[in-house]
Amino acid sequence: MIGRISFGGWIRRLGLAAIAPLLVIGLVLVSCGGTDPTVIATLGDYHPFDFINEEGEIDGLERELGDELCRRAGLECEWILHDWETLIPDLIDGQFDVIIAGMSITAERDELIDFAGPYYPPRPSMYLARAGSGDAAMAGQLGTTENTIFSDYLTEQGIAFTPLAGAVDAATAVLAGDVDAVLVDHAYGVAKLAEYEGELEAVGPSLELDEGLGIGVRTGSDLLGAFNKALDSMKSDGTVNEIIRRWLGAEAATFE
């Protein structure tokens, strides 16, 4: 998904600014024991990966995936909401233990933290436009979420675009006519194409910008091995693919 965090600033989503950064939404007990819980930080505003459901709980693909990972790893896990802009520095600082927040694996991030996974395979990012627009939409007003790998790419290429704040859903911005096309990651794109079937289409070129979506942990953390082992188990028995299809639809990328 999602954007590159640079040394100069840790910015992407400010949609949860009104919510305390470390708001605990729910406590997930997946094993017994006297050790401190493993704290997982997510965003809560990136449907269908992570969002707040009608019961006020963190829900989505990543919640389901993370709960099962914790169960298989024998970990007691607690979920919290956190601002995107400080996810990596606060992970490094020890304020929580894990990031599961639609975070794309990039070379720059990999220098700062370790990644288990990916839990969604690397696939080209895409442009979405209103159905019937065709590639002509690329000549109109482009948009993408600000301070992401997508906004970085467009800036580096000298392509003008409308920055979308983290609280603004990219697909909704297209459907509302605020922009003509948006640059998004593959997983989000296929989910929105399924959700708004007949209303959206993929246009323009696809772009290789990341290495899939990963689970962030502090460099040297024992959790890296624990989550990779649990994730490998879930890939082997098809659980990861089932979760991906359930939340993102039949056209989502899966693991062979």
Q: Does domain 24-122+211-248 have CATH number 3.40.190.10?
A: yes
Number of alpha carbons in the 13 Å side-chain half-sphere of residue 103? 34
Which residue in the block uniquely carries the two structure tokens 């933290």?
113
- Tally of CB atoms within 10 A around 92: 13
Q: What is the pLDDT of residue 95?
A: 97
Residue 32 tokens read as 């017994």
pTM value is 0.77
- The structure tokens 């449907």 sit at 47
3-state secondary structure of 61: helix
Cβ atoms < 10 Å from Cβ of 47: 19
Regions of the chain with pLDDT less than 50: 3-33
pLDDT at 238: 97
- Per-residue model confidence (pLDDT) at position 166: 67
- Compute the Cα dihedral for 163, 165, 169, 174 and give only its sign: negative
Write down the pLDDT at residue 26: 42
Domain ranges of the chain: 24-122+211-248, 125-207
Q: Give the strand pairing for 77-81 and 38-42.
A: parallel
- Report the alpha-carbon distance of residue 238 to residue 255 in Å, rounded: 8
CATH number of 125-207: 3.40.190.10
Length of the chain: 256
pLDDT of residue 149: 87
**How far is 223 from 225, CA to CA, in rounded Å?**
5
183, 153 in Cβ contact below 8 A?
yes
pLDDT of residue 145: 87
* Inter-residue contact 109 to 103 (CB < 8 Å): yes
Chain center to CA of 18: 20
